[in-house]
Structure 1
Amino acid sequence: MKKYLWPSIKLTLLLLVLLGGLYPLFLAGVAKMAPGKGGGVKVMQHGKVVGYENIAQKFSDDKYFQPRPSTVDYNAAGSGGSNKAAGNPDYLKTVQERIDSFLVHNPDVKKADIPAELVTASASGLDPHLTPYAAIVQVPRIAKIRGLDADKVKQLVAAQATAPVLGLFGPATVNVLKLNVALDELK
């Protein structure tokens, strides 16, 4: 027993120093070099912080682009998905309610044209991005409510879209908060 006890204690102390001290300090140092210095990238409007670039927020007014649904009600203190299987009756009911609500607010859109991302929550419930198509689907509602030309709003979506990483990884995306800030600035 003594043969194994001392090496176990030494290994535990070594890992405690490495993983409990040095590794977190290293990650904090790397975060300080990232945009936002580890505190998140703030989105500003008229000199005021209106949100953070990588955390979704709720937009309930029809004059704004709506983000993906959130199972945590956009509460960044605790992210999480529904953890229900795609065939779960409760989950299917929730998705159908979201589809029905989307169609009420977007009467110009056919059910078959609704992107899945607008009626299903992301794994974190805090995904701030949509594909450009999911934003374009909402353009008729927004243009009508704001009295804007739909083509002008589509151009805004295209201008706010970011390409996949290195042109290869992931889809093109639009940050909903930044898009809505730009929409408010649109004359």
Structure 2
Amino acid sequence: MEEKQSMIGPIIRMTLVLMTFCGLVYPVAVTGIAQAAAPHKADGSLIYDENDKVIGSELIGQTFTEEGYFHGRVSSIEYNGAGSGSNNYAPSNEDMLNRTKESIIEWKKNNPETKISDVPNDLLTNSGSGLDPHISPKAAYVQLDRVSEATGINKAELEKLIEKHVQGRELGLFGEERVNVLKLNLDIKNMMKQ
């Protein structure tokens, strides 16, 4: 019994030291380093409008349904950044098949001039997180006709705009080329103002 009581003091002290270090010192230090090294990223990669109002993040997608804008991936969580994830359905799952069929119907309605066989999978499927703000360059190019017709911006200008927004692989090795839909659409909005 006496031996157990002698252990209580060191256990409490070690718990307090670890709580202070792991719960206070370490998070403050990491936040400070992140703010000093990459403040834009540390603050969530936020995008502001001309009035300094936050309109989104480079890291979380948004739903664009207007014909004059490029559309992003399907998101079963409506791009709600409070929680990420999508249903991990197998390709044979009935719910997955129905949702994909609905995406195809929606695509055909908005883009009647494009054959469904030309539509990249990333326009018809969720990303793993349901928050992905990017589409493939091919997914952007396949939307050219609709966006050009709705905005009056000729296809050659839109192609240059897409090329401007193509981001390469990380470190030249990891991931795929991608286009941030929000940034692309902001440029389109600015072009339409002119």
Band of TM-score, shorter chain: 0.7 to 0.9
How many correspondences in the alignment? 187
Q: How does 1:1-187 map to 2 (within 5 A)?
A: 2=4, 12-33=15-36, 34-36=38-40, 38-49=42-53, 50-186=55-191, 187=194
Q: TM-score, normalised by structure 2?
A: 0.84
Share of identical aligned residues, percent? 38
How far apart in 2 are the matches of 1:29 and 1:12? Answer: 25
- Gapped regions of structure 1 (runs ≥ 5): none
Larger radius of gyration: 2
CA distance in 1, matches of 2:12, 2:108: 62
Q: Which runs of 5+ in 2 are unaligned?
A: none
Residue by residue, what CA displacement relative to the aligned partner does 1:88-141 show, whole Å, maximum 9, x if unpaired? 111111111111111211112111111111111112211111111111111111
Q: How many angstroms apart in 1 are the aligned matches of 2:100 and 2:67?
A: 19
- 1:22 partner amino acid: V
Greater shift, 107-116 or 134-143, is seen at 107-116
Out of 30-39 and 131-140, give the one that drifted further: 30-39
Q: Which moved more, 1:161-170 or 1:176-185?
A: 161-170
Residues 140/23 of structure 1: CA separation in 2 closer, same or farther (3 Å cut): same
Which letter maps to 2:26?
A: Y
Give the match's secondary structure for 1:142: helix
